Structure 1
Amino acid sequence: MPNDRLTALIAELSTLDTEAATTERGDLDLLSTAELTERMNAEDARVAGAVAAQSLPIAAAIDGITERFRRGGRLIYIGAGTAGRIGVLDASECPPTFGTDPSLVVGIIAGGETAIRSAVENAEDDGHAAEASLSELQLTEADTVVGISASGRTPYVLGGLAYARSVGALTVAIASNAGSAIGTAADIAIEVVTGPEFISGSTRLKSGTAQKLVVNMLTTLSMIKLGKTYRGVMVDLLATNEKLHARSIRTVSQLAGVDTDDAARTLREADGSVKLAVLMLATGASASTAASALTDADGLLREAISALS
């Protein structure tokens, strides 16, 4: 017989959409591969609509994150398992995409670095571990903490959100069930109800896809508001490999309307900064003058161009 704690947990899980099983999937093992592909894709197609239904709280989170970035704050993801890995993934992609310092967007996963690749047993049940990790980061009220949990009840995430609120940080919850515990614990609740998973309880599927779509918006759209893009193009990317170096030249060429030779030359003068090179070519300004204009415009290329034109 399960103990009282397990009995309560079984009862709790039975109320979650993400744990539900549907009779229409009872024959999956009897279907052809083509039929399985069609059915799974049909389930995945529901995710975008579920995310769209949460556009208002997502927008509120983006505005809050952006405001705190401008105050010198950070965005910190916390989660366990798939949810934690998605936060780590999004954080790791911000420096090369937007030229940000690695400390600006941080991903913390229950169980630490090992848990990125391997399961760490019971890590998600430790409600104090996230508090310890956030404390090590010297969390302040200028920061934003985004807790990610498909079930919306993960103790690790709940503990982290409680600590974040205690220091005055903005707290955001991303869950796949309505009325979630983490949603109640956070300032902003983003509850993307994706329904029963294609394989019951496997929240790396639709729930994971929804989480990825939401974190994509949180960072991408806040970076747009910070001036990290211009005309829908990345202008703060870091050319850390040959492909990105070629992309930098191509970006300057396209945005400034010059050939690739001129783009490459100006990029060298701009010490590799796409944004600075575009500003120099668009206005004829020297590197130093353009750099000062960008600083005065808080990094907003459009405003800097206007100021020098």
Structure 2
Amino acid sequence: MGSLRGRVAIITGAGRGIGREHALLFAGEGASVVVNDVGGGNDGTGSDSGPAQDVADEITAAGGTAVADGSDVADWRGAGALVDRAVAEFGRLDVLVNNAGILRDAFIAGMDEEQWDSVLGVHLKGHFAMLRHAAGHWKQRSKQGEDVRAAVINTASASGTFLPNPGQANYGAAKAGIAALTQVAAAELDRYGVRVNAIAPIARTRLTLATPGMGALFDEEPDEGEFDAFSPANIAPLVAHLAAEDCPFTGRVFSVQGGAIAELAGWHDVRTAQVDGPWTVRDVERELAAWA
């Protein structure tokens, strides 16, 4: 216990599901937690301060330290206000867990602009907006001579990394972008003492239960006393480790589900064709014939 003692963390989308488990475990490990959640529906519509406040209350009732926040991470000013809130409440920010997300599934031929923009807005822009404002805070502290030891944990997905899911072009594109953003941010922010990693979790949440073709997989819960391989609580220990001050990892993407953690690799060469001199269409046709 206490691996996060003294750390100050923002966890977005922490009112329910995976984010809630992060917040509870972080507080149990000694972190002061800003529990952020707009409290909207699966599709991002509406708002409700209740879920975030309930989690913050649960933490404080157990002797931990937490405040609830309803800022919208997809809003540039809202993201900035959330970072400012952490600093105002606890004096600084050490950990950012980007977890907030929504779903507006549709096949490409029927997807409208709003379905695309809203999902990219919450996931990809929301990750970047939070990362940008947090990075500004850490850069300032580093420039002032402080030994910053901060951590960011982003949330990618199997959809968009290793398991493309039809009907989720918006979600998959956002999640693939988050994996790439993670690696770029890790390379850029190391100079300020910031590590950046991502997870691709598989667990039972409101979003996975609402995903076409996947609901049945997650819907069945195990008998009492049996290990629940799809419990969102299985995700939080990896995130807590990645948030710890002495964790060595940065620029990594980890898949996590049940009792399994795997490191994911990005795009890489699987075969190569080469000619001496410039390509012609016929050269390409000939050299790539065996790849079909």
Q: Same fold (TM over 0.5)?
A: no
Q: Which has the larger radius of gyration?
A: 1
* Structure whose residues are more often helix by fraction: 1
Q: Structure 2 length normalisation: TM-score? A: 0.37
Q: Structure 1 length normalisation: TM-score? A: 0.35
